[in-house]
């Protein structure tokens, strides 16, 4: 369907933007039975809903005229859940109603409310805002809605999930009852239906095909991965897919910070979005994604709602969402307006059943598989390099002159090797992900073959001799005698320890949140070795010591010495005892494997004080204290008279 039935001013704007065919939701609101009625529309995120309700209210606002006339009291009110979505809606409606002469004003949180009040006083045809800021302007009488003809609730389900129920009810009850109410939502849970029943009149329900079959333009994949390998899987997926823009979802702010730091450490250009960011920091992160300075965004569910990123074709769920609706909202950031997208869920074995149930409720058929391996990524890197445009595009005269000069001094193979080295240096190193063996193929720790058990000696049913309460030392003495007669066996080195390992040091410690979970992959990456070549790891305040197998220590030292960039530097330890001279001269806190002994509390010199609190001498024993309840510090013993 085309836009032939739309007003001429809007049709002109659509033609300039090269809008030829209407999307399913846009075609549905232009049907004759939807004209002038309240609408309850369910359509996937990114299906063109903004243009859809802009077209749906056009006849109501224009009322047969070609232009809107002078700006005065608002005629339409659009409510969106987030600042980003509200500002995006403002931009969309501004160009759609440009030739109709409409003035569109935004009222969102985080912006100057005084400026918004001045713009409202100057007049507006359409007001777009977030629930909290719109309610504030209504209560202060800066926003007058007596002439309102239409109210649109965009992403109504998200606004209810974010706790805006009271604000929405206040807005709907304040606006004139004869208005049109258009409610757009990606899903239609019971709370949305109840809201529509209470505030809409004879609403026409429209459900596009996307509601029944999920996001048609999104390919869903589920990756089986162990819990401790999820970060490595995220790295390999980003490297394998090589998306211009990707979105990684975590469930908490702490997980977002950790994931962003890990990606930055690996060499990815990443930013984060979470509730702890200010509006300016949020805008800076989004702008970095839009202009290409950042390619990966790590975000929580709430922080990512309402954002529209160009060229976003990959969504990775590093942590599974809570329900099917959140899964669709997350995945709806990609596959927008006809573009294709991929949504990948990382599923640990313990969450397999939950993931299958969630996909079933969302009516999504996901393709199950494993995370790409490092060898697959290296092979794909080689294929991409051979097909790179820099090799196929003709060079300029200056480029060819420099190439001829280089060929006179170097061989073609050396030049090609230098080119490959430069290209690979810009790419983050893939992670080694060993596939877990199936349950029935894993090596067993016990021999399950039938064994011939020797007959057990008859038990001595004589009553055991217990230590007397009056003489408790009798049992201890017998135990000491038994230990002396049966000394413990000598044990080998603990797992992960090395008897002939060479010690190296890292310039990060506990002060910089050093953790063996991310230190071990970094050591393997810089030294081109595997974790079986690394022994003990000791984390101190300002540095970390670790052992490397003596057979490859010399090669390892040469590799890490060539790396001059990066925040994590590896160098040989100053001695080979596991403790550097720096700590011998300047003692620090003990390593993580050693528990510090707390200092004994000092006793007060005043005998009437107990742990720093006064107490009643007559009621000693903790029954009636005058101050706070004391700790477990024993009272200072008094010497007996004459003692």
Burial class (CB in 10 A: 0-12, 13-18, 19+), 623: exposed
Residue 592 tokens read as: 């993580």
**Both tokens assigned to 190:** 């019971």
Beta bridge partners of 129: 79, 107
pTM: 0.55
Q: What is the pLDDT of residue 77?
A: 96
Q: What pLDDT does 553 receive?
A: 86
* Span 108-127, average pLDDT: 92
Asked if residue 210 has pLDDT above 60, the reply is no
pLDDT-based confidence at residue 520 (cuts at 50, 70, 90): confident
Whether the per-residue pLDDT at 616 is higher than 70: the answer is no
Q: Among 112-121, 311-320, 397-406, which stretch is predicted with the lowest mean pLDDT?
A: 397-406
Task: Kindly give the residue spans of alpha helices, DSSP state H, lying in 63-161.
Answer: 83-96, 113-122, 131-139, 156-161
- Residue 495 in this model has a pLDDT that exceeds 60: no
* Contact yes or no for 129/84 (Cβ under 8 A): no
β-sheet bridge partners, residue 181: 151
What is the C-alpha to C-alpha distance for residues 337 and 290, in angstroms, rounded to an integer? 17
Looking only at the bridges linking them, the beta strands covering 218-224 and 341-347 are parallel
What pLDDT digit, counting tens, does each position of 547-556 carry? Answer: 888 888 888 8
Alpha carbons 36 and 18: distance in angstroms, whole number: 27
Average pLDDT over residues 13-42: 88
d(CA 325, CA 19): 30
> How far is the first Cα of the chain from the last one, in angstroms, to the nearest whole number?
106
164-189 tens-digit pLDDT: 889 999 999 999 989 999 999 877 77
pLDDT tens across 215-238, in order?
A: 567 899 999 999 999 999 999 999
Write out pLDDT tens, residues 281-291.
888 888 888 88
Confidence of residue 465 (pLDDT cuts 50, 70, 90): very low
Question: Residue 444 — very low, low, confident or very high, per pLDDT cuts 50/70/90?
Answer: very low
User: Taking a C-beta distance cutoff of 8 angstroms, is the pair 341, 196 a contact?
Assistant: no
Other beta carbons within 10 Å of 231: 20
The predicted pLDDT at position 603 comes to 40
Q: Give CA–CA dist 150/377, Å, rounded.
A: 53
């Amino acid at each position: 369907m085309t836009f032939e039935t739309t007003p001429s001013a809007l049709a002109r704007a659509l033609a300039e933007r090269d809008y030829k065919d209407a999307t399913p939701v846009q075609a549905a609101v232009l049907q004759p039975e939807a004209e002038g009625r309240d609408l309850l529309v369910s359509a996937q995120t990114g299906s063109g809903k903004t243009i859809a309700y802009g077209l749906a209210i056009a006849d109501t606002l224009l009322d047969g005229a070609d232009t809107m006339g002078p700006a005065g009291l608002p005629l339409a009110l659009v409510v969106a859940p987030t600042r980003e979505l509200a500002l995006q809606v403002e931009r969309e409606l501004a160009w759609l109603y440009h030739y109709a002469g409409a003035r569109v004003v935004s009222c969102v949180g985080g912006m100057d409310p005084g400026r918004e009040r001045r713009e409202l006083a100057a007049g507006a045809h359409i007001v777009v805002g977030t629930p909290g800021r719109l309610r504030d302007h209504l209560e202060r009488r800066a926003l007058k809605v007596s002439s309102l003809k239409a109210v649109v609730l965009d992403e109504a389900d998200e606004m209810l999930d974010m706790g805006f129920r009271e604000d929405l009810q206040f807005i709907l009850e304040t606006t004139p009852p004869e208005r049109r109410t258009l409610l757009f939502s990606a899903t239609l849970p019971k709370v949305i239906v109840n809201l529509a029943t209470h505030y809409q009149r004879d609403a026409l329900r429209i459900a596009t095909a996307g509601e029944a079959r999920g996001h048609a333009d999104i390919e869903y994949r589920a990756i089986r991965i162990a819990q401790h390998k999820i970060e490595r899987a995220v790295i390999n997926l980003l490297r394998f897919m090589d998306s211009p823009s990707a979105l990684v979802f975590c469930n908490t702010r702490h997980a977002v910070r950790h994931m962003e730091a890990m990606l930055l450490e690996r060499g990815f250009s990443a930013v984060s979005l979470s509730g702890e960011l200010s509006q300016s920091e949020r805008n800076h992160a989004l702008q970095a994604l839009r202009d290409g300075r950042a390619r990966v965004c790590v975000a929580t569910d709430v922080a990512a709602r309402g954002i529209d990123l160009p060229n976003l074709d990959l969504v990775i769920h590093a942590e599974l969402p809570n329900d099917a609706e959140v899964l669709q909202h997350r995945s709806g950031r990609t596959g927008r307006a006809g573009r294709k997208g991929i949504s990948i869920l990382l599923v640990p074995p313990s969450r397999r059943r939950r993931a299958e149930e969630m996909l079933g409720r969302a009516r999504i058929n996901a393709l199950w598989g494993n995370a790409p391996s490092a060898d697959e990524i290296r092979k794909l890197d080689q294929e991409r390099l051979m097909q790179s445009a820099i090799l196929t595009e003709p060079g300029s005269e200056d480029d060819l002159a420099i190439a001829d000069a280089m060929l006179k001094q170097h061989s073609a193979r050396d030049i090609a090797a230098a080119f490959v080295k430069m290209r690979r240096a810009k790419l983050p190193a893939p992670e080694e992900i060993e596939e877990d063996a199936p349950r029935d193929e894993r090596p067993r720790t016990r021999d399950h073959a039938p064994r011939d058990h020797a007959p057990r000696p008859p038990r001595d049913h004589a009553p055991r001799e217990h230590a007397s309460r009056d003489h408790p030392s009798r049992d201890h003495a017998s135990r000491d005698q038994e230990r002396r007669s049966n000394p413990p066996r000598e044990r080998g080195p603990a797992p992960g320890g090395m008897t002939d390992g060479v010690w190296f040091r890292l310039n990060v410690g506990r002060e910089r949140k050093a953790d063996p979970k991310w230190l071990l992959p970094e050591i393997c990456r810089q030294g081109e070795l595997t974790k079986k070549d690394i022994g003990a790891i000791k984390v101190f305040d300002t540095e970390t010591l670790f052992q490397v197998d003596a057979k490859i220590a010399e090669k390892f030292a040469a590799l890490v010495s060539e790396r001059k960039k990066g925040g994590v530097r590896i160098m040989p330890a100053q001695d080979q005892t596991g403790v550097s001279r720096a700590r011998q001269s300047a003692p620090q806190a003990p390593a993580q494997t050693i528990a510090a002994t707390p200092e004994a509390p000092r006793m007060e010199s005043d005998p009437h004080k107990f742990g720093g609190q006064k107490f009643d001498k007559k009621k000693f024993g903790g029954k009636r204290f005058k101050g706070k309840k004391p700790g477990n510090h024993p009272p200072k013993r008094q010497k007996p008279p004459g003692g």
